Amino acid sequence: MTDRQAKHTDRIVLDGMVLRGHHGVTAAERELVQRFRIDLTLELDLSKPSATDDLRDACDYTRVYECVRHIVEERSFHLLEAMASCIADSILAEQPMVSAVRVGAYKPDPPIRGSFERAGVEIWRERGNDRV
């Protein structure tokens, strides 16, 4: 078990968010609306909301989703790396109880010849680094 796993074993998982946006390296990619899949894993201590059963003590999934939706649908990035990093940094900034976040950002229909399910990136950000 790593130090990170020993610290927090509680997680909130929001997988398979399908959103539409204008992202890509070429102007043509950014002009067309494309599908993007976002998978999130939030690492945090869930003992208090588990005990109180009160949303005020919890990480509000709706607010997290709206943060992701806003970034994917209302902003534009050349690279999935930049979009995923923005999502991670925003969640850490807006959700103080989240200690770390994994963001998977995938383009189900990338403009690449070949047969594969999706192309994407996965990043991990932790609270306490210089980015947040």
pLDDT in tens, 80-126: 999 999 999 999 999 999 999 999 999 987 777 888 877 899 999 99
Per CATH, is 3-126 categorized as 3.30.1130.10? yes
Query: pTM of the full predicted structure?
Result: 0.87
pLDDT at residue 127 above 80? Answer: yes
26-78 confidence digits (pLDDT tens): 888 888 899 999 999 999 999 999 999 999 999 999 999 999 999 999 999 99
pLDDT confidence tier of residue 1, bands split at 50, 70 and 90: very low
| Cα angle for residues 43, 44, 47 (degrees, 5° grid) | 140
Task: Give the integer Cα–Cα distance in Å for 82 and 14.
Answer: 20
User: Is position 7 annotated as part of the catalytic site?
Assistant: no
Task: Give the integer Cα–Cα distance in Å for 50 and 35.
Answer: 35
Active-site residue identified among 64, 67, 100, 107: 107
